[in-house]
Amino acid sequence: MKKGIIGVMAALLCFNLYAAKSESITVNLSKLKKSYSVKNEKKSLSLGGYGSFVEFEIEISKDGEYAIVLEVENSNSLDTRTVMKLEKDKNYFNSQLIMPTEKKEIYVNRICLMEKGNHSFKLSAPFSGFTVNKIVIMPADDNIKSKISPAGLVNKNATEKTKKLYDYLCSMQGKAILSGQQINESNVELNVINETIGKYPAIMGIDLMNYSPAFVERGARGNIIRRAKAWAKQGGLISCSWHWCAPKDLIDEDKPEMRWYDGFRAKATKFDFSKAISNHNSEEYKLIIRDIDAIAVQLKSLQEADIPVLWRPIHEASGGWFWWGARGSKNYIELYKILYDRLVNYHKLNNLIWVWNAQDAKWYPGDEYVDVLSFDTYPGKRIYKTFDNELAELQSATSVPKLYALSENGPLPDITKLAQQNGIWSWFCTWNSEFVIDSNDNFSEEYTDLSHFKTFYDNPFVITKDELPQF
């Protein structure tokens, strides 16, 4: 993207706003189009919340990368869900948490890529209200970029290769999306994709389910680590989840989703992990640690092979359908922290990029435990979206710049619109089986038709395995 400077004029729809210097544009707040719940207060605008908004338009003289800076004031001391939402050119652009009692200059946590011409913006308060004292659009130089880019891995002892992967993901944010495909215990999905379009996805998605001690006790044997090592040797990346079988109290009845091999589901176990949270001397706590230690063995095997991992444990918690989400957000957050501490500080696993996936901002464990915020989404057969609402939910969890991922998807996203928006999803990972292959291990059009599949992977915005750099 070429760099340039901003033109000298800002306008609101049909209003002239402010004749600005060439270096930046300061929006005239007194002439903005606004909803009835927005009040002018001297030189400020008070957005009352619950969808209140203001709109403005600027004129850009050259293509470039820009930053949006606001001086905001949040007088709400109780509601941590005070969120600032921004749309650009009638498309979703960004959401950001404004901390309670915050009064300061904030940078929108996203580079704004703009071409020469007019661009419209809409700023809204979807939940609680806040006050805006200033809106400035300015060129994004290296100093500004450092303020609105992810600050680095939460584990400061991360391996060099893990740091390089993370830095690469940061450098590609808004410029490309990495392709991914979840597999079962074989590479059939990956091979079918290659046979269909002549390319492999950049990311292989694996699951450590069969290494759960409760599964191993019943005869399960995993070979997925061996496949992951082979994939990494070929230049591919690894995303890893864990359908964690409950350590005990499996119901194991001959009913749907209640057999022992459904032991990760809430309805398939009576295991109450809240007892582990409240009492670290309990049997439940000791079993949780036993299971984490068993999984650490597999992750260490990948670390010894110098393989970084996009690590997404205890996912989809807020849905309540997995046992780790069945005891509420507070217990889940404590379990997440236990898991982080045990793997990072006890087992010294430094090859993990931590991907949070509870799917609800209220379940966020804290910026110091999360590198990437992700969402799993299954909109229905052949429904192609950009998942703006899902991104907004993730972004409303934090005021700190982070990476974002579509960690599970059914149909592929709408890549044409995603590319036009310079979408900031770092990667996607289509789920396995029927989402890409049929019962005969041939390509399936049930969820994504072949034309859309080919169009998606042919789009230059999509990164495949052959386009990855060496880490």
For the stretch 172-205, pLDDT in tens is 999 999 999 999 989 999 999 999 999 999 999 9
Residue 311: exposure state from Cβ atoms within 10 A (0-12, 13-18, ≥19): buried
What pLDDT does 3 receive? 30
Q: What pLDDT shows up at residue 5?
A: 28
| Residue 460 predicted with pLDDT over 50 | yes
**159 pLDDT higher than 70:** yes
Q: d(Cα 397, Cα 96) in Å, to the nearest integer?
A: 8
**Overall average pLDDT of the 464-469 stretch:** 98
Higher-pLDDT residue of 13, 332: 332
Predicted confidence at residue 360, as pLDDT, reads 96
Give the per-residue pLDDT at 185: 87
Q: Are 290 and 247 in contact (CB under 8 A)?
A: yes
**Per-residue tokens: 254:** 């001959």
pLDDT of residue 18: 31
Report the C-alpha gap between 317 and 407 in whole angstroms: 14
Contact, 43 vs 29, CB < 8 A?
yes
Residue in 57, 189, 284, 316 annotated catalytic: 316
φ/ψ of residue 368, rounded to 5: -75, -5
> C-alpha distances in angstroms, 119 versus 12, 55, 259, 342?
10, 11, 56, 48
Pair 238, 308: CB distance under 8 Å:
yes
Residue 407's Cα: distance from chain center in Å? 7
pLDDT digits (tens, 9 = 90+) for 420-440: 999 999 999 999 999 999 999
- CA separation for the pair 349, 302 (Å, rounded): 10
Give the mean pLDDT of the chain: 92
List the catalytic residue out of 408, 434, 446, 467: 408
Contacts of 193 (CB under 8 A, 6+ apart): 181, 199, 200, 201, 436, 443, 457
DSSP string, 60-83: ESS-EEEEEEEEEE---SS-TT-E
DSSP 8-state symbol, 21: -
List, for residues 225-242, the tens digit of each pLDDT value.
999 999 999 999 999 999
State pLDDT tens for residues 254-291.
999 999 999 999 999 999 999 999 999 999 999 999 99
Please say if the pLDDT value at position 328 is more than 90.
Answer: yes
Q: Please determine, for residue 16, whether its predicted confidence score (pLDDT) is greater than 50.
A: no
Task: Work out the average pLDDT over 198-219.
Answer: 97
Residue 378 pLDDT level (bands cut at 50, 70, 90): very high
pLDDT (tens digit per residue) in 83-111: 999 999 999 999 999 988 888 899 999 99
pLDDT > 80? residue 445: yes
Q: Determine the Cα–Cα distance for residues 436 and 181; give it in Å rounded to an integer.
A: 9
**Count of alpha carbons within 13 angstroms of residue 14, beta-carbon side:** 0
What does DSSP assign to residue 468? P
Per-residue pLDDT band at 4 (split at 50, 70, 90): very low
How large is the greatest C-alpha to C-alpha distance in the chain, in angstroms?
73
pLDDT at residue 37 tops 90: no
Query: What is the pLDDT at residue 229?
Result: 98
% of the chain residues with pLDDT over 90: 86
Whether 408 sits among the annotated catalytic residues: the reply is yes
- What residues does 47 pair with on adjacent strands? 38, 130
User: Does the pLDDT at position 123 exceed 60?
Assistant: yes
pLDDT value at residue 246: 98
Amino acid sitting at position 117: G
User: DSSP string covering 383-413, please?
Assistant: -----HHHHHHHHTT-SS--EEEEEEESSPP
Mean pLDDT value of segment 304-315: 98
Rounded to whole angstroms, how far apart are CA atoms 429 and 435?
11
User: What number of other Cβ atoms are within 10 A of residue 59's Cβ?
Assistant: 17
What pLDDT was estimated at residue 80?
Answer: 63
- Give the span between the Cα atoms of 375 and 391, in whole angstroms: 8
pLDDT at 10 over 50: no
Burial of 77 from C-beta contacts in 10 A (0-12 / 13-18 / 19+): exposed
How far apart CA 284 and CA 275 sit, in angstroms, is 6
Using pLDDT thresholds of 50, 70 and 90, give the confidence band for residue 244.
very high
Q: Which helix (H) or strand (E) holds 188?
A: helix 188-197
